[in-house]
Amino acid sequence: MEALLRQSRAMCPFLNKTSPATLRAMSMSTAVTHTAPGGGAMSNLQIIARRCPVMGKALTVQGARHGNPALAGAFGGTRAYHAKVPKARLHTNAPNQAQAVDLPSARREHAPFAPPPSNKPAVSQRQSPAPPPSAATAAPFNYDGFYQNELDKKHKDKSYRYFNNINRLAQDFPRAHLATAEEKVTVWCSNDYLGMGRNPHVLNRMHETLDKYGAGAGGTRNISGHNQHAMDLEGTVAKLHAKEAALVFSSCYVANDATLATLGSKLPNCVILSDSMNHASMIQGIRHSGAKKVVFKHNDVADLEAKLAALPADVPKIIAFESVYSMCGSIGPIEEICDLAEKYSAITFLDEVHAVGMYGPSGAGVAEHLDYETYANGRSTKGTVQDRIDIITGTLGKAYGCVGGYIAGSAKMVDTIRSLAPGFIFTTSLPPATMAGAKTAIEYQMNYQGDRRLQQLHTRAVKESLNEMDIPVIPNPSHIIPVLVGNAEVAKKASDLLLEKHQIYVQAINYPTVPVGQERLRITPTPGHIKDYRDHLCQALESVWNELDIKRTSDWAREGGFIGVGVKDAEAVDPLWTDEQLGLTDFEQDLKAGRGALGALENVLERKRVQVLQAVAAAA
């Protein structure tokens, strides 16, 4: 719409000198003495448009189509005025745009679940065609039939989603119960990566705030939901990422959608370059923006540069990508993308949802972690990777254990989104207790690295065990453990068996979250998954793999390898957290003593667990 308005102003003197506010007011005010094409009153804007030699013709054609003599005017004729408007090219679903249609023909062409055609002979060409059915005789749309048809398709391709009744127990994390309190299970797929949802400091702060300020915020931020809790939280987020400002949303899905939609629609002729594995929230935001979308291959900087080089230098460009891709665990090439953004005058939009709290000395994410020593030693952060990122988005609902999302960046950018984004303006603010709890969680993780270090060590231990058991783990340098199954129905059966037979909850991941044929179990250890839980998990997976005859790593290798599993002569993937950053000097000593990798790691884990328990007890 913005592009169309700019083109129109260049050609039309009236539009060029009239403000958008005036145009909007004229389009909403009516004059009862003039009829509109579909009946009713014409707006004042339509009345003025009739005087234009171009728009007058267009309105005449429109009036003739609808049988409205008031619009037929003096011009007459049958030529319609129309202009071609560039549409956003999206790599997801085809756009569904509302269009004016002839209702009787629409019923004939699109009526679903209609009875089969009769065997009566076709009407002769000399005979007059039968009139379309009237509104009184046409069969009503079968809504329930439509719903059932869509659900049947999901069941048929085995992508229908079943929700398990999982009730996490704050005092017994990572344990939960099912429908009844007696049905205990161990949760191995939570995104509460650090167990902050039960952290005593967070809970105490939330209880205090809830008792004092109540359950809800009272409205949107611009009406009655702006308060000290929102300002304090945004100040803490800005400090976390070393940015000028931050803005909190109800979720990071909303933050991504609102920010990309706003920037993409407001920047003139904007082009958004999107990683092929970006989250649905980013794809949706680009779709809503109407901007042109260019997709580059996952983590492929050469492909990204080729696409950037093909764009005009003066066109605004946004490179949208993630730091940790949650379904495969891969890490984005952040520094290289920053280099390309500077070279081709683009801005960077980095989603750190699965990385905040998990990486870096302060828990700010992968961008901070790439300059670990600089941030750990309090040196100047000017020119660091995190400093070079223009827009960082994150969540409060994963490693921080609460709910909500945010953006961080320059003060002007944040103020622009605050002022223009409907997803922020018209959404009720987060409750005060939630914002107070999130602020406490961020500050806790900024000052304490024990949780994320222990989580990394547990991740290493599980990956090591599964690799030794020939169970196919998709290799990656992050805290995600994707176990490849390769079939939607089998993945669902494996998840069900783990829950019903072994009291372990790991959700199956299938299409559209991952491509068909890449279905998997996604395992996420936490600091609470001690050795007993890990041993139980590995034994259960071994049993399920045998019972369902699921392919192992060696089976994938015989087929030439698949998405990193069983690939011949593949380079080893090193964890993002180095041994030095994790403080594994004891690990090296145990290795030299001949205890083996797993034995040495277990000794370190036990020592770390004791340290964490002592630290929590001291803080409480």
Is residue 259 within 8 Å of residue 286, measured between CB atoms? no
Does the bond joining 515 to the residue before it have cis omega, within 30 degrees of 0? Answer: no
Distance (Å, rounded) from C-alpha 387 to C-alpha 470?
Answer: 42
Active site residue 531: no
Tokens coding 437: 């709890």
Bridge partners for 335 per DSSP? none
Q: One of 243, 398, 492, 551 is an active-site residue; which one? A: 398
In sequence order, the 6+-apart residues with CB closer than 8 A to the CB of 154 are: 160, 161
> How crowded is the C-beta side of 75, counted as CA atoms within 13 Å?
23
Strands 292-296 and 271-275: parallel
What is the rounded (10 degree) CA torsion for 601, 606, 607, 612?
A: 120
Q: What DSSP designation does 324 have?
A: B
Which residue in this structure is represented by tokens 């931050």? 246
Distance (Å, rounded) from C-alpha 59 to C-alpha 76?
Answer: 10
Q: Which amino acid, one-letter code, is at 297?
A: K
In sequence order, the 6+-apart residues with CB closer than 8 A to the CB of 55 are: 49, 81
Biggest CA pair distance of the chain: 99
> How crowded is the C-beta side of 359, counted as CA atoms within 13 Å?
26
Residue 583 to residues 347, 445, 530, 589, 594, Cα–Cα distance (Å): 36, 17, 19, 12, 19
| DSSP for 590-618, written as a single string | HHHTT--HHHHHHHHHHHHHHHHHHHHHH
Listed in order, strand segments (DSSP E) in 287-427 are 292-296, 317-322, 347-351, 391-395, 405-409
- In the chain, how many H helices and how many E strands? 27, 16
What is the rounded (10 degree) CA torsion for 524, 527, 528, 534?
A: 60
Does the bond joining 512 to the residue before it have cis omega, within 30 degrees of 0? Answer: yes
**Buried b / exposed e along 425-438 (16+ C-beta atoms within 10 A):** eebebbbbbbbbbb
The sign of the CA dihedral 208, 211, 216, 218 is negative
What are the residue ranges of helices labelled H in 174-227?
Answer: 200-213
Which residue in this structure is represented by tokens 């509109």? 36
Helix (H, G, I), strand (E, B) or coil at 439: helix
Q: Which of 463, 462, 465 lies closest to 474, judged by CA? A: 463
In sequence order, the 6+-apart residues with CB closer than 8 A to the CB of 376 are: 361
Residue 354 to residues 54, 140, 192, 407, Cα–Cα distance (Å): 54, 47, 10, 14
Distance (Å, rounded) from C-alpha 390 to C-alpha 395?
Answer: 17
Is residue 446 within 8 Å of residue 593, measured between CB atoms? no
Residues with a known catalytic role: 398
